[in-house]
């Protein structure tokens, strides 16, 4: 537990209050499931006519699960986890709402503005990716695949490139997220490293991180 964690959970009670559990398993699992569902549509593994059925999964697993994880990480004084999970949750809330509007209004939309929103989010995601290089290789891989999925989605919208490329990167993001979630859960419960997350790729002198 970091000094920040201790400050958050200080209490005048004689019985120590337990620290909040690591919410990353929940957040990464939600991300993985949402990415897998979205990839199934891009890769033609699911019917395009039933596209609306993606919304419950992107809304609940992708958006809400990550929002919960992010809020818990704010309480745990984990700036990186809190920021990453909450921003990606809001992205998936936006994606879910966009899907709802475009599917249920029956109107044809020019979604170029949606692409510009994704570009803006991609810029921020690149900041997170740089930060993840100071954590471990698994988290870095997850964010790189998400960045590539966002970039190719922008190209798909604006230049009509094949959406299968987006789906391929989403599958890789889902697989990496499942691996990361499994690693945190199994390693925590076993008390030792069973599923290695990999080492930090970048460690600035004097950097303090989780």
pLDDT at 104: 83
Contacts of 12 (CB under 8 A, 6+ apart): none
151-197 per-position pLDDT tens digit: 999 999 999 999 999 999 999 999 999 999 999 999 999 999 999 99
Higher pLDDT, 15 or 106: 106
Structural domain total, the chain: 1
Q: In terms of residue numbers, what domain contains 38?
A: 20-190
In this structure, is residue 202 part of a structural domain?
no
Buried residues in 185-208 as b, exposed as e (16+ CB within 10 A): beeeeeeeeeeebeebeeeeeeee
14-61 per-position pLDDT tens digit: 445 557 899 999 999 999 999 999 999 999 998 877 888 999 999 999
Higher pLDDT, 118 or 18: 118
In this structure, is residue 97 part of a structural domain?
yes
In this structure, is residue 85 part of a structural domain?
yes
Higher pLDDT, 141 or 49: 141
Query: Integer distance in angstroms from the first to the last C-alpha of the chain?
Result: 9
Burial class from Cβ neighbours inside 10 Å (0-12, 13-18, 19+) for residue 60 reads: middle
Query: What DSSP state is assigned to residue 60?
Result: I
Report the CATH number at residue 181.
1.25.40
Cα four-point dihedral sign 62, 67, 73, 74? positive
pLDDT-above-70 percentage for the chain: 88
**Which is nearest to 171 in space by CA: 73, 34, 67, 4?**
34
| Average pLDDT, integer, range 7-14 | 40
In this structure, is residue 8 part of a structural domain?
no
Q: Rounded to whole angstroms, how far apart are CA atoms 178 and 191?
A: 19
pLDDT at 23: 96
pLDDT at 205: 72
Cα four-point dihedral sign 134, 139, 140, 146? negative
Q: With beta carbons less than 8 A apart as the criterion, state whether 210 and 81 touch.
A: yes
Query: What DSSP state is assigned to residue 19?
Result: P
Q: What 3 state SS string does 65-118 have?
A: HHHHHHHHHHHCCCHHHHHHHHHHHHHHHHHHHHHHHHHHCCCCCCCHHHHHHH
Global confidence as pTM: 0.86
């Amino acid at each position: 537990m970091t000094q920040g964690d201790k400050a958050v959970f200080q209490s005048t009670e004689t019985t120590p209050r337990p620290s909040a559990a690591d919410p990353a398993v929940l957040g990464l699992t939600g991300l993985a499931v949402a990415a897998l569902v979205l990839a199934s549509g891009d890769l033609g593994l699911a019917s395009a006519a039933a596209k609306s059925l993606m919304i419950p999964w992107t809304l609940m697993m992708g958006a809400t699960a990550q929002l919960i994880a992010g809020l818990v990480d704010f309480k745990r004084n984990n700036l990186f986890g809190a920021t990453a999970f909450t921003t990606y949750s809001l992205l998936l809330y936006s994606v879910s709402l966009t899907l709802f509007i475009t599917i249920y209004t029956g109107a044809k939309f020019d979604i170029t503005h949606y692409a510009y929103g994704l570009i803006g989010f991609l810029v921020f995601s690149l900041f997170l990716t740089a930060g993840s290089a100071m954590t471990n290789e698994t988290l870095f891989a997850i964010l790189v695949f998400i960045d590539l999925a966002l970039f190719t989605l922008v190209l798909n919208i604006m230049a009509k490139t094949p959406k299968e490329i987006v789906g391929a990167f989403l599958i890789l993001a889902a697989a990496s997220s499942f691996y990361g979630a499994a690693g945190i859960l199994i390693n925590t419960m076993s008390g030792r490293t069973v599923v290695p997350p990999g080492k930090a790729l970048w460690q600035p002198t004097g950097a303090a991180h989780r």
